[in-house]
Structure 1
Amino acid sequence: MIFDLIDPIHFGLASLIIFGAYFIFGISGFGSSIIAVPLLVQMYPLKSAVPMMVIIDICASLYLGRKSSQDANFKELKWLFPFTLIGMVLGIFLLVNAPSEPLLITLGCFAALNGARVLWQRNSEMQDPINKWWAAPFGFFGGTFTALFATGGPIYASYLGLRINDSRALRATMAFAIFMLTFLRLTLMLVTGLILSWPVIGLAICLMPATFVGIWLGTHVHAKLSNVAMRVAYGSILIFSGTMLLIRQVLD
């Protein structure tokens, strides 16, 4: 039942996590799931947290992507998505069949290392764009992590950040990419039955207010925040969430 998932204390913490994650999403156009999932799985099972984030992500991406789609670089996305789909098929297979402990350890390492990378490169500027064929590994691994943990955004952001120099176009392209990725995840999870759970759907609906307040505030802050400050905040949250998840797995 839905009331098994909506424990008052857990729900309050989940609302704060969702608010913070979508505040970052409102600023950067990505990053909600990789911030939220490592923290949510400390309260909810992985197979509940990931489908819940799919439902929330698709609503959030519809809201932000609709506003910024005119600035998106669709040519870059056409190179990414064929490889993404292959990776997502593998990711869904692992989510359904693989034990959760090694997957959670992988997620914790990925979040912490990506946060360290963001902090290390916080002052760097893009030089010459990388070759478009790098879309193959970035798309494949991004699709795998997207299906497994709903956390492929930083992988795509890494690739697109090395291809697109304009920050407005990069944010718009990422927002539209997250929408398309979430739609693909939703389709695959409907096929596998992972998302056909009323408690998961109900919890996602209950968390929508925190989602849209976070996006609204993040969108307003986006115009005032420097890129360096945003990277520092984002990287710090990633390291914190990844480290906490790894500590939990070690203690268990």
Structure 2
Amino acid sequence: MPGFLLWVPASLAVLLAALLQGITGFGFALIAVPLLLLVFDAHTAVILNLLVSFCTQLALSYRVRKEIIHSLLMNLFKGSLLGIPIGLYVFTHFNVKDLKILISILTIIFALVIFKLKSIKKITQEENPWAERLIGSLSGFLSTSTGIAGPPVVLFLNYRDLRKDKFRATASAYFTLLYGASLALLILFRNVNTHIVLSAISLLPPAFLGSYLGIYLFPRVSQKHFYYSVPLIVIATGLYSLLTSIL
């Protein structure tokens, strides 16, 4: 378990991340990973993100299960199964400092893309199983390599212009399945140790508190305005994490 001086900032990170996740169904890693990188090494931050996020996503998915688009969910997940092992190879062979820089750069790029997307008119798209599986593959790769699996799927769902409730439910269910598969593979290759598991357990109370607050705020917050603020926060944390890696 982390010491108290490490637990406090880590608990605030997962609380904020779970709050965002409770409202949107995604975004835990976008907030948690850059902030956890300020406290832990890159490998620990990625695995902690997966463990805590899986638990909160599982609870949220069960709560909103009636709104899930199952065909879209399964196509995304099938694609992710191709990307997960490739991402694991990158995860186990990357230098820790280089991995931290890669995570920071990806965070900034994806946040800029999401922010730019707000100025582009959404277009409702027909179902495309191959495109959905391709997006899932990219997401799966990012899941086990950097812990930031959300951006490809979030941008795709945004492009499909889903209703807010279906967006949240489908995204949440997808990440529950993805993180479960990613964790199973990491455990199989002995990348998860007892210390990390205990650290994750200690962070569950603030994570569930944040998720509960997010669920409570979901019908009360303008998603449009909220989405505008998220990329700005992510860009700021990503830049800070990048600067601390290269200086």
Q: Same fold (TM over 0.5)?
A: yes
Question: How far 1:217 moved relative to its partner?
Answer: 0.8
Q: CA RMSD in A?
A: 1.6
Counterpart of 1:162 in 2: which secondary structure? Answer: helix
**Contact between 1:142 and 1:155, CA under 8 Å: does it hold in 2?**
yes
Match of 2:165 in 1: 168
Match of 1:143 in 2: 140
- Of residues 150, 155, 158, the one that matches 2:155 is 158
Question: How far 1:235 moved relative to its partner?
Answer: 0.9
Structure 1: which 5+ residue stretches go unaligned? none
Question: How far 1:141 moved relative to its partner?
Answer: 1.5
- Of residues 63, 78, 84, the one that matches 1:82 is 78
TM-score by length of 2: 0.93
Distance 2:43 2:177 in 1: 21
Question: How far 1:124 moved relative to its partner?
Answer: 4.4
Matched, 1:234 2:230: yes
Counterpart of 1:128 in 2: which secondary structure? Answer: coil
- Of residues 107, 119, 126, the one that matches 2:122 is 126
Question: How far 1:33 moved relative to its partner?
Answer: 1.3
**Contact between 1:123 and 1:228, CA under 8 Å: does it hold in 2?**
no
Distance 2:161 2:81 in 1: 22
Structure 2: which 5+ residue stretches go unaligned? none
Counterpart residue identity of residue 158, structure 2 = G
**Contact between 1:34 and 1:151, CA under 8 Å: does it hold in 2?**
yes
- 64-73 or 156-165: bigger deviation: 156-165
CA 1:112–1:130 in 2, change beyond 3 Å: closer, same or farther?
A: farther
Distance 1:250 1:98 in 2: 16
Alignment of 1:157-236 (within 5 A): 157-195=154-192, 197-236=193-232
Moved >6 Å (runs of 4+):
none
Question: How far 1:140 moved relative to its partner?
Answer: 1.9
Alignment of 1:39-78 (within 5 A): 39-78=35-74
Question: How far 1:34 moved relative to its partner?
Answer: 2.1
Question: How far 1:136 moved relative to its partner?
Answer: 4.0
Question: How far 1:130 moved relative to its partner?
Answer: 6.1
Distance 1:61 1:209 in 2: 14
Report sequence identity in percent: 22
- Cα deviations across residues 178-211 of structure 1 (Å, max 9, x unaligned)? 100111111111111111x111111111111110
